[in-house]
Amino acid sequence: MGSTSKDIKEEDKRLLEGVIQKKKKQQKDIKPFVNKVIQGDCLNILPSIPDKSIDMILCDLPYGTTQNKWDSVIDLQALWAEYERIIKDNGAIVLTAQGIFTAKLILSKEKLFKYKITWIKSKPTNFLNAKKQPLRKHEDVCVFYKKQSVYNPQMTKGEAYDKGVRKDQYTGSYGEFKPQHVKSDGERYPNDVVFFEEDHDDFVYVKTAESEGEVYHPTQKPVELGRYLIRTFSNPGDIILDNACGSGSFLLSAILENRRFIGIEKNEDVLLHRIQPTDYIKICMDRISETLKREEVTPSTRKLFKKPITKYHTLNYLETDATNQL
């Protein structure tokens, strides 16, 4: 006796359920990546990270502005394909930049670019060209997102004021608005300049990496800059990705702000002070271990790091499938 149409439908249903279950098993899992420092080319690692699993991307990408071999611009088209896939819909992609690289970075993904923050440094650079051009006193922080991202404005204190009622306005750059009472109890919203000095009530104070202690990487960013940005664009417990983590400053920022992290570092072609081969995975691990001992690390943060921090590390790493180590 032949199969009925009902039997065929039931068989199709079972086959479909089998396919769905198989796909579920094959789905990527974020857990093996969390609180790890992974050695490898980020363009090889990122495809194994699940879709919409990252709360914030904070990265000091290579600018391509020095003669160092490691300072080569990553393929931005390939990088954006991964960034857009792995970031959550309300996640911010926050990337440092400078000079021509700022322009290239913004133009590489105009539809997601929203604004940039200027970080003014305590110590300028470019001294070798001081007789030919101005010293470089700032770097840019470019902010991208798909939809309105998490935004926690870091308020500062200033003088209170009361300017009375502002009249109706029917002209101007921002259209009409109704009368409103203009006053402040002294709290100030942040502007787009992150400053380094004190005695300015409308700036955020951030020291350079040199001011924080030992400098391990030629382009090392200050931990405090990372902390400010992480507080602004993420919430406690979130996962922060740095796919070119260098000596790990932004990973330390994540720990100190009660966030989890994923660090990726190629760890190739880097000589500290141009003479000493340097293992940045080891430096990251050592700095993380020391940071977790600090008194300011809260119990809730320590719970995020119940398991030992692990690394996936092979010095002189060969370009094979890095995710085999995960």
Q: Which residues pair with 216 in a beta bridge?
A: none
Task: Answer yes or no: are the C-beta atoms of 297 and 247 closer than 8 Å.
Answer: no
Q: What is the pLDDT of residue 30?
A: 94
- What percentage of the chain exceeds 70 in pLDDT? 65
CA distance 321 to 324: 6
- Does the reported pTM lie above 0.85? no
Over residues 163-221, the pLDDT tens digits come to 666 665 555 555 565 667 666 666 778 777 876 554 443 344 455 555 555 665 566 78
Choose the most confident range, by mean pLDDT, from 76-80, 152-156, 166-170. 76-80
pLDDT at 16 over 70: no
Task: Answer yes or no: are the C-beta atoms of 209 and 221 closer than 8 Å.
Answer: yes
Burial class (CB in 10 A: 0-12, 13-18, 19+), 98: middle
Range with lowest mean pLDDT among 28-42, 86-100, 302-316: 302-316
Range list of β-strands (E), 102-160: 113-125, 136-144, 156-157
Task: Answer yes or no: are the C-beta atoms of 322 and 41 closer than 8 Å.
Answer: yes
Which domains occur in the chain, in start order? Answer: 36-154+190-325 (3.40.50.150), 158-188 (no CATH)
Please work out, in degrees rounded to the nearest 5, the angle formed at the alpha carbon of residue 62 by the alpha carbons of 58 and 66. 145
Return mean pLDDT, the chain: 78
